[in-house]
Amino acid sequence: MKSSTNLDANASHGLLPYVKEQMIAAGFDYLNPSSIHSGGQRARIIVEESRHEVSKLLGLTDGERVVFTSGATEANNSVVFCRYLDPKISDAVKKSESFIVTSELEHPSILEPCNKLAELGVGVKFAKPNRAGQIKCDEFYNLVDQDTRLVSLMYANNETGNIFPIAQIAHEISRNYSAALIHTDAVQSVGRIDFDFSELGVDLMSISGHKLGALTGVGALIIRAGLEIEPLLYGGPQEKRSRAGTENVLGIASLGYAARWLSENKVTQISKLKINRDKVKSSLLNNFSDVEFNTHEASIPNTLNVRIPGIKSHDLVVALDLVGVCLSSGAACASGKPGASHVLLAMGLDQEQASESIRISVKADYEPEELEHAIDKLVTCITRMKDVR
Ligand code: PLP
Protein backbone atom coordinates (compact mmCIF):
# COMPACT_ATOMS: atom_id res chain seq x y z
CA MET A 1 0.00 0.00 0.00
CA LYS A 2 1.38 3.43 -0.93
CA SER A 3 2.13 5.39 2.22
CA SER A 4 0.26 8.62 2.91
CA THR A 5 1.73 12.00 3.73
CA ASN A 6 1.71 12.45 7.48
CA LEU A 7 0.28 15.85 8.44
CA ASP A 8 -0.76 14.24 11.73
CA ALA A 9 2.61 13.99 13.46
CA ASN A 10 1.14 14.95 16.85
CA ALA A 11 -0.82 11.69 16.73
CA SER A 12 2.28 9.70 15.76
CA HIS A 13 5.43 10.75 13.97
CA GLY A 14 6.31 7.41 12.42
CA LEU A 15 9.82 5.96 12.74
CA LEU A 16 12.64 8.33 11.91
CA PRO A 17 14.75 6.84 9.08
CA TYR A 18 17.78 6.90 11.42
CA VAL A 19 15.86 4.93 14.05
CA LYS A 20 14.79 2.32 11.49
CA GLU A 21 18.37 1.92 10.24
CA GLN A 22 19.77 1.54 13.75
CA MET A 23 17.10 -0.97 14.72
CA ILE A 24 17.74 -3.09 11.68
CA ALA A 25 21.49 -2.98 12.34
CA ALA A 26 21.08 -3.89 16.03
CA GLY A 27 18.46 -6.63 15.48
CA PHE A 28 15.12 -7.34 17.12
CA ASP A 29 15.83 -10.25 19.40
CA TYR A 30 16.47 -9.37 23.05
CA LEU A 31 16.45 -11.39 26.23
CA ASN A 32 15.55 -10.16 29.71
CA PRO A 33 17.82 -7.28 30.84
CA SER A 34 17.61 -8.55 34.44
CA SER A 35 19.21 -11.90 33.51
CA ILE A 36 22.85 -12.20 34.43
CA HIS A 37 23.80 -14.27 31.38
CA SER A 38 25.33 -12.62 28.32
CA GLY A 39 21.98 -12.50 26.45
CA GLY A 40 20.47 -10.54 29.32
CA GLN A 41 23.51 -8.31 29.63
CA ARG A 42 23.35 -7.43 25.95
CA ALA A 43 19.78 -6.22 26.53
CA ARG A 44 20.87 -4.34 29.69
CA ILE A 45 23.53 -2.47 27.72
CA ILE A 46 20.91 -1.38 25.17
CA VAL A 47 18.57 -0.15 27.92
CA GLU A 48 21.32 1.81 29.69
CA GLU A 49 22.63 3.30 26.45
CA SER A 50 19.12 4.50 25.67
CA ARG A 51 18.78 5.99 29.13
CA HIS A 52 22.00 7.87 28.51
CA GLU A 53 20.74 9.20 25.14
CA VAL A 54 17.41 10.34 26.59
CA SER A 55 19.24 12.02 29.51
CA LYS A 56 21.50 13.81 27.05
CA LEU A 57 18.61 15.00 24.90
CA LEU A 58 16.80 16.41 27.93
CA GLY A 59 19.96 17.89 29.45
CA LEU A 60 19.64 15.83 32.64
CA THR A 61 22.27 16.36 35.29
CA ASP A 62 23.38 14.28 38.27
CA GLY A 63 20.61 12.45 40.04
CA GLU A 64 17.87 13.36 37.55
CA ARG A 65 16.41 10.05 36.39
CA VAL A 66 14.78 8.52 33.33
CA VAL A 67 12.24 5.83 34.25
CA PHE A 68 11.10 3.97 31.15
CA THR A 69 7.36 3.33 30.87
CA SER A 70 4.94 1.93 28.30
CA GLY A 71 4.28 5.46 27.06
CA ALA A 72 3.20 8.86 28.28
CA THR A 73 -0.22 7.55 29.32
CA GLU A 74 1.46 5.37 31.94
CA ALA A 75 3.85 8.15 32.97
CA ASN A 76 0.93 10.56 33.39
CA ASN A 77 -1.15 8.03 35.35
CA SER A 78 1.84 7.33 37.60
CA VAL A 79 2.09 11.03 38.37
CA VAL A 80 -1.61 11.57 39.06
CA PHE A 81 -1.85 8.54 41.37
CA CYS A 82 1.50 8.93 43.17
CA ARG A 83 0.28 11.51 45.71
CA TYR A 84 -3.01 9.69 46.29
CA LEU A 85 -1.07 6.47 46.98
CA ASP A 86 1.37 8.21 49.31
CA PRO A 87 0.66 6.99 52.88
CA LYS A 88 2.49 10.00 54.34
CA ILE A 89 -0.27 12.33 53.10
CA SER A 90 -3.39 12.45 55.28
CA ASP A 91 -6.87 11.70 53.96
CA ALA A 92 -7.95 15.18 55.03
CA VAL A 93 -5.35 16.76 52.73
CA LYS A 94 -6.27 14.37 49.90
CA LYS A 95 -9.89 15.49 50.21
CA SER A 96 -9.09 19.20 50.24
CA GLU A 97 -10.41 21.04 47.16
CA SER A 98 -7.03 21.84 45.68
CA PHE A 99 -5.10 18.62 46.38
CA ILE A 100 -4.40 18.36 42.64
CA VAL A 101 -4.37 21.38 40.34
CA THR A 102 -4.33 20.83 36.61
CA SER A 103 -5.98 22.35 33.52
CA GLU A 104 -9.00 21.60 31.37
CA LEU A 105 -6.71 21.35 28.35
CA GLU A 106 -4.71 18.32 29.46
CA HIS A 107 -4.56 15.08 27.53
CA PRO A 108 -7.09 12.42 28.64
CA SER A 109 -4.22 10.52 30.26
CA ILE A 110 -4.17 13.29 32.89
CA LEU A 111 -7.87 14.21 32.88
CA GLU A 112 -9.26 10.68 33.22
CA PRO A 113 -7.14 9.61 36.21
CA CYS A 114 -7.95 12.98 37.81
CA ASN A 115 -11.67 12.34 37.21
CA LYS A 116 -11.29 8.88 38.71
CA LEU A 117 -9.68 10.34 41.83
CA ALA A 118 -12.39 12.99 42.04
CA GLU A 119 -14.97 10.17 42.05
CA LEU A 120 -13.09 8.73 45.04
CA GLY A 121 -13.45 12.02 46.88
CA VAL A 122 -10.05 13.53 46.08
CA GLY A 123 -9.97 17.28 45.44
CA VAL A 124 -9.04 18.34 41.90
CA LYS A 125 -9.16 21.84 40.43
CA PHE A 126 -9.02 22.49 36.70
CA ALA A 127 -7.66 25.78 35.35
CA LYS A 128 -9.63 27.23 32.45
CA PRO A 129 -7.99 28.65 29.35
CA ASN A 130 -8.94 31.94 27.73
CA ARG A 131 -10.46 32.16 24.22
CA ALA A 132 -6.97 32.13 22.68
CA GLY A 133 -6.22 28.83 24.39
CA GLN A 134 -3.76 30.35 26.86
CA ILE A 135 -3.45 29.49 30.53
CA LYS A 136 -2.38 32.60 32.42
CA CYS A 137 0.25 32.16 35.10
CA ASP A 138 -1.52 34.19 37.81
CA GLU A 139 -4.89 32.51 37.23
CA PHE A 140 -3.31 29.07 37.48
CA TYR A 141 -1.27 30.09 40.50
CA ASN A 142 -4.42 31.34 42.29
CA LEU A 143 -5.86 27.81 42.28
CA VAL A 144 -2.92 26.46 44.29
CA ASP A 145 -2.80 26.60 48.10
CA GLN A 146 -1.06 24.99 51.10
CA ASP A 147 -3.01 21.73 50.61
CA THR A 148 -1.91 21.27 47.00
CA ARG A 149 0.32 18.23 46.61
CA LEU A 150 0.39 17.93 42.83
CA VAL A 151 0.34 20.42 40.00
CA SER A 152 0.20 19.13 36.43
CA LEU A 153 0.26 21.44 33.43
CA MET A 154 1.25 20.39 29.95
CA TYR A 155 4.13 22.18 28.25
CA ALA A 156 2.38 22.39 24.87
CA ASN A 157 -1.10 21.31 23.89
CA ASN A 158 -1.41 18.40 21.48
CA GLU A 159 -4.46 19.78 19.65
CA THR A 160 -3.64 23.48 19.29
CA GLY A 161 0.14 23.45 19.78
CA ASN A 162 -0.20 26.35 22.22
CA ILE A 163 2.63 26.57 24.75
CA PHE A 164 1.96 27.21 28.45
CA PRO A 165 4.24 29.11 30.85
CA ILE A 166 5.28 26.04 32.82
CA ALA A 167 8.69 27.41 33.91
CA GLN A 168 7.15 30.60 35.29
CA ILE A 169 4.35 28.68 37.02
CA ALA A 170 6.78 26.11 38.46
CA HIS A 171 8.99 28.88 39.77
CA GLU A 172 6.13 30.68 41.56
CA ILE A 173 4.64 27.52 43.01
CA SER A 174 7.86 25.94 44.23
CA ARG A 175 8.83 29.21 45.91
CA ASN A 176 5.60 29.45 47.89
CA TYR A 177 4.16 25.94 48.12
CA SER A 178 7.04 23.55 48.54
CA ALA A 179 4.78 20.56 49.38
CA ALA A 180 3.39 20.55 45.83
CA LEU A 181 5.09 18.34 43.25
CA ILE A 182 5.11 19.96 39.83
CA HIS A 183 4.67 17.88 36.70
CA THR A 184 4.60 18.72 33.04
CA ASP A 185 3.43 16.57 30.15
CA ALA A 186 6.11 17.45 27.61
CA VAL A 187 5.02 14.90 25.01
CA GLN A 188 4.52 17.45 22.23
CA SER A 189 7.46 19.68 23.20
CA VAL A 190 10.46 17.37 22.97
CA GLY A 191 12.20 17.92 19.63
CA ARG A 192 10.00 20.95 18.95
CA ILE A 193 11.26 23.29 21.66
CA ASP A 194 14.95 23.44 22.55
CA PHE A 195 14.87 23.08 26.34
CA ASP A 196 16.54 21.29 29.24
CA PHE A 197 14.56 19.57 31.99
CA SER A 198 16.30 21.57 34.72
CA GLU A 199 15.40 24.96 33.26
CA LEU A 200 11.67 24.15 33.58
CA GLY A 201 11.98 23.83 37.37
CA VAL A 202 9.57 20.89 37.49
CA ASP A 203 9.85 17.72 39.58
CA LEU A 204 8.40 15.34 37.02
CA MET A 205 8.01 15.25 33.26
CA SER A 206 6.38 12.78 30.84
CA ILE A 207 7.58 12.00 27.35
CA SER A 208 6.40 9.59 24.65
CA GLY A 209 8.49 7.65 22.11
CA HIS A 210 6.20 7.66 19.11
CA LYS A 211 5.86 11.43 19.04
CA LEU A 212 9.63 11.68 18.54
CA GLY A 213 10.14 9.13 15.80
CA ALA A 214 10.53 6.01 18.00
CA LEU A 215 8.12 3.08 18.35
CA THR A 216 4.71 3.27 20.01
CA GLY A 217 4.39 1.66 23.46
CA VAL A 218 7.40 3.31 25.05
CA GLY A 219 7.91 6.53 26.95
CA ALA A 220 9.48 7.81 30.11
CA LEU A 221 8.87 9.61 33.33
CA ILE A 222 11.69 12.01 34.20
CA ILE A 223 12.18 12.48 37.94
CA ARG A 224 14.20 15.26 39.56
CA ALA A 225 17.20 14.46 41.73
CA GLY A 226 16.41 13.15 45.20
CA LEU A 227 12.70 12.58 44.58
CA GLU A 228 11.11 9.18 45.20
CA ILE A 229 7.46 8.71 44.28
CA GLU A 230 5.00 5.91 44.97
CA PRO A 231 5.06 3.61 41.94
CA LEU A 232 1.92 2.80 40.00
CA LEU A 233 3.06 -0.74 39.19
CA TYR A 234 4.28 -3.16 41.84
CA GLY A 235 6.22 -6.31 41.04
CA GLY A 236 9.87 -6.82 40.20
CA PRO A 237 12.63 -4.36 41.13
CA GLN A 238 13.08 -2.98 37.59
CA GLU A 239 13.84 0.70 37.03
CA LYS A 240 15.25 0.93 40.58
CA ARG A 241 11.82 -0.09 41.94
CA SER A 242 10.15 2.89 40.28
CA ARG A 243 8.35 0.82 37.63
CA ALA A 244 7.94 -2.93 37.84
CA GLY A 245 7.84 -5.09 34.72
CA THR A 246 10.39 -6.48 32.27
CA GLU A 247 11.62 -3.59 30.15
CA ASN A 248 10.38 -3.18 26.58
CA VAL A 249 13.92 -3.44 25.23
CA LEU A 250 13.03 -2.93 21.58
CA GLY A 251 10.88 0.11 22.31
CA ILE A 252 13.49 1.54 24.67
CA ALA A 253 16.20 0.98 22.04
CA SER A 254 14.11 2.89 19.48
CA LEU A 255 13.63 5.75 21.96
CA GLY A 256 17.38 5.90 22.55
CA TYR A 257 18.09 6.09 18.81
CA ALA A 258 15.47 8.82 18.34
CA ALA A 259 16.94 10.76 21.28
CA ARG A 260 20.45 10.45 19.84
CA TRP A 261 19.26 11.70 16.46
CA LEU A 262 17.37 14.61 18.01
CA SER A 263 20.29 15.65 20.24
CA GLU A 264 22.34 16.13 17.09
CA ASN A 265 19.61 17.56 14.86
CA LYS A 266 17.05 19.35 17.00
CA VAL A 267 18.03 22.87 16.01
CA THR A 268 17.70 22.17 12.29
CA GLN A 269 14.61 20.07 12.93
CA ILE A 270 12.89 22.95 14.74
CA SER A 271 13.60 25.41 11.94
CA LYS A 272 12.39 22.91 9.29
CA LEU A 273 9.19 22.33 11.26
CA LYS A 274 8.51 26.04 11.28
CA ILE A 275 9.18 26.38 7.54
CA ASN A 276 6.83 23.47 6.80
CA ARG A 277 4.10 24.73 9.13
CA ASP A 278 4.36 28.22 7.61
CA LYS A 279 3.98 26.78 4.09
CA VAL A 280 0.67 25.22 5.13
CA LYS A 281 -0.44 28.35 6.94
CA SER A 282 0.29 30.72 4.06
CA SER A 283 -1.47 28.44 1.53
CA LEU A 284 -4.56 28.41 3.70
CA LEU A 285 -4.47 32.18 4.15
CA ASN A 286 -3.83 32.81 0.44
CA ASN A 287 -6.71 30.60 -0.67
CA PHE A 288 -9.37 31.07 2.00
CA SER A 289 -10.13 34.43 3.53
CA ASP A 290 -12.41 33.01 6.24
CA VAL A 291 -10.08 30.58 8.07
CA GLU A 292 -9.59 31.18 11.80
CA PHE A 293 -6.65 29.85 13.76
CA ASN A 294 -7.07 28.25 17.17
CA THR A 295 -3.27 28.23 17.49
CA HIS A 296 -1.71 31.44 18.75
CA GLU A 297 1.81 32.85 18.32
CA ALA A 298 3.34 31.09 21.33
CA SER A 299 3.05 27.58 19.95
CA ILE A 300 5.21 24.64 18.97
CA PRO A 301 6.52 25.11 15.43
CA ASN A 302 4.78 22.15 13.79
CA THR A 303 1.11 22.57 14.72
CA LEU A 304 -1.80 24.51 13.28
CA ASN A 305 -5.33 24.16 14.51
CA VAL A 306 -7.59 25.89 12.06
CA ARG A 307 -11.30 26.41 11.69
CA ILE A 308 -12.72 26.38 8.17
CA PRO A 309 -16.25 27.73 8.53
CA GLY A 310 -18.92 25.58 6.88
CA ILE A 311 -16.74 22.47 6.52
CA LYS A 312 -17.06 19.55 8.91
CA SER A 313 -13.55 18.53 9.91
CA HIS A 314 -14.53 14.86 9.98
CA ASP A 315 -15.63 15.03 6.30
CA LEU A 316 -12.40 16.79 5.36
CA VAL A 317 -10.27 14.20 7.16
CA VAL A 318 -12.04 11.38 5.30
CA ALA A 319 -11.79 13.17 1.93
CA LEU A 320 -8.07 13.81 2.39
CA ASP A 321 -7.44 10.28 3.50
CA LEU A 322 -8.85 9.06 0.18
CA VAL A 323 -6.21 11.12 -1.65
CA GLY A 324 -3.34 10.04 0.61
CA VAL A 325 -3.07 12.81 3.21
CA CYS A 326 -3.40 12.14 6.95
CA LEU A 327 -4.53 14.84 9.28
CA SER A 328 -6.83 15.01 12.24
CA SER A 329 -10.10 16.49 13.41
CA GLY A 330 -8.77 16.58 16.98
CA ALA A 331 -6.59 14.45 19.19
CA ALA A 332 -6.06 10.94 17.81
CA CYS A 333 -7.67 9.33 20.84
CA ALA A 334 -10.75 11.51 20.50
CA SER A 335 -11.07 11.72 16.75
CA GLY A 336 -12.41 8.19 16.35
CA LYS A 337 -15.36 9.18 18.51
CA PRO A 338 -18.20 11.54 17.69
CA GLY A 339 -18.23 14.82 19.60
CA ALA A 340 -16.14 17.92 19.51
CA SER A 341 -12.71 18.37 21.07
CA HIS A 342 -12.71 19.06 24.82
CA VAL A 343 -9.79 21.44 24.24
CA LEU A 344 -11.62 23.65 21.76
CA LEU A 345 -14.82 23.61 23.82
CA ALA A 346 -12.83 24.62 26.93
CA MET A 347 -11.41 27.53 24.91
CA GLY A 348 -14.98 28.73 24.32
CA LEU A 349 -15.64 27.56 20.77
CA ASP A 350 -19.19 26.28 20.35
CA GLN A 351 -19.95 22.74 19.14
CA GLU A 352 -20.25 23.87 15.55
CA GLN A 353 -17.03 25.89 15.53
CA ALA A 354 -15.17 23.03 17.16
CA SER A 355 -16.55 20.54 14.63
CA GLU A 356 -15.21 22.77 11.83
CA SER A 357 -11.65 22.75 13.20
CA ILE A 358 -8.83 20.55 11.98
CA ARG A 359 -5.38 19.90 13.37
CA ILE A 360 -2.45 19.92 10.96
CA SER A 361 0.82 18.79 12.55
CA VAL A 362 3.82 18.50 10.27
CA LYS A 363 7.13 16.63 10.41
CA ALA A 364 10.48 18.22 9.61
CA ASP A 365 11.36 15.92 6.71
CA TYR A 366 9.30 14.85 3.75
CA GLU A 367 10.27 13.48 0.35
CA PRO A 368 11.00 16.24 -2.22
CA GLU A 369 7.70 17.91 -3.25
CA GLU A 370 5.70 15.65 -0.92
CA LEU A 371 4.54 18.44 1.38
CA GLU A 372 3.70 20.73 -1.55
CA HIS A 373 1.56 17.98 -3.12
CA ALA A 374 -0.21 17.39 0.18
CA ILE A 375 -0.91 21.13 0.52
CA ASP A 376 -2.34 21.20 -3.03
CA LYS A 377 -4.64 18.34 -2.10
CA LEU A 378 -5.70 20.09 1.06
CA VAL A 379 -6.54 23.28 -0.83
CA THR A 380 -8.35 21.36 -3.60
CA CYS A 381 -10.45 19.36 -1.14
CA ILE A 382 -11.46 22.43 0.84
CA THR A 383 -12.33 24.32 -2.38
CA ARG A 384 -14.50 21.43 -3.66
CA MET A 385 -16.26 21.05 -0.34
CA LYS A 386 -16.97 24.76 -0.24
CA ASP A 387 -18.31 24.64 -3.83
CA VAL A 388 -20.85 21.90 -3.09
CA ARG A 389 -22.26 23.66 -0.05
N1 PLP B 1 0.12 13.47 26.39
C2 PLP B 1 -0.04 14.13 25.24
C3 PLP B 1 0.03 15.62 25.24
C4 PLP B 1 -0.27 13.42 24.06
O5 PLP B 1 -0.42 14.09 22.92
C6 PLP B 1 -0.33 12.00 24.12
C7 PLP B 1 -0.65 11.23 22.91
O8 PLP B 1 -1.36 11.69 22.04
C9 PLP B 1 -0.15 11.38 25.36
C10 PLP B 1 0.08 12.13 26.48
C11 PLP B 1 -0.18 9.86 25.48
O12 PLP B 1 1.00 9.34 24.96
P13 PLP B 1 1.17 7.79 24.68
O14 PLP B 1 0.57 7.53 23.35
O15 PLP B 1 2.66 7.56 24.70
O16 PLP B 1 0.51 7.05 25.78
Q: Specify the number of domains making up the chain.
A: 2
Domain termination residue (choose one: 260, 293, 326): 260
Q: Which helix (H) or strand (E) holds 333?
A: helix 332-335
| Whether 234 and 298 share a structural domain | no
> 300 alpha carbon to ligand 1 midpoint, in Å?
15
CA distances from 100 to 74, 87, 169, 323 (A): 18, 16, 15, 45
User: Which pLDDT tens digit goes with each residue over 30-57?
Assistant: 999 999 999 999 999 999 999 999 999 9
| Whether 339 and 279 share a structural domain | yes
Atom of ligand 1 nearest to the CA of 106: 3
Q: Looking at the DSSP assignment, which residues form a beta bridge with residue 131?
A: none
> With bands split at pLDDT 50, 70 and 90, how would you rate the model's confidence at 173?
very high
Mean pLDDT of 347-370: 97
Mean pLDDT of 303-313: 97
**Could you say which of 114, 137, 333, 381 is catalytic?**
333
What is the percentage of the chain residues whose pLDDT exceeds 70?
97
| Whether 91 and 208 share a structural domain | yes
Q: pTM of the entire structure?
A: 0.96
Q: Are strands 204-208 and 219-223 parallel, antiparallel or unpaired?
A: antiparallel
Pocket lining: 73 vs ligand 1, CB cutoff 6 Å: yes
| Whether 35 and 99 share a structural domain | yes
Ligand 1, pocket-test mutation among 67, 107, 328, most atoms within 8 A of CB:
107
Question: What are the contacts of 285-293 at 24+ separation with CB within 8 A?
Answer: 287/379, 287/382, 287/383, 288/382, 288/386
Q: What is the pLDDT of residue 335?
A: 47
> With bands split at pLDDT 50, 70 and 90, how would you rate the model's confidence at 1?
low
| Whether 30 and 139 share a structural domain | yes
**Residue 275 predicted with pLDDT over 50:** yes
> 384 alpha carbon to ligand 1 midpoint, in Å?
33
> 128 alpha carbon to ligand 1 midpoint, in Å?
20
333 part of the active site: yes
Domain termination residue (choose one: 260, 287, 321): 260
User: Which pLDDT tens digit goes with each residue over 182-205?
Assistant: 999 999 999 999 999 999 999 999
| Whether 168 and 209 share a structural domain | yes
| Whether 236 and 322 share a structural domain | no
| Whether 253 and 119 share a structural domain | yes
Q: What is the pLDDT of residue 3?
A: 84
**Residue 389 predicted with pLDDT over 80:** no
Domain termination residue (choose one: 260, 283, 305): 260
85 and 116 in contact (C-beta within 8 Å)? no
197 and 59 in contact (C-beta within 8 Å)? yes
Mean pLDDT of 59-87: 97
Atom of ligand 1 nearest to the CA of 12: 8
CATH number at residue 213: 3.40.640.10
| Whether 135 and 167 share a structural domain | yes
Show the domain range for 168.
17-260
| Whether 232 and 317 share a structural domain | no
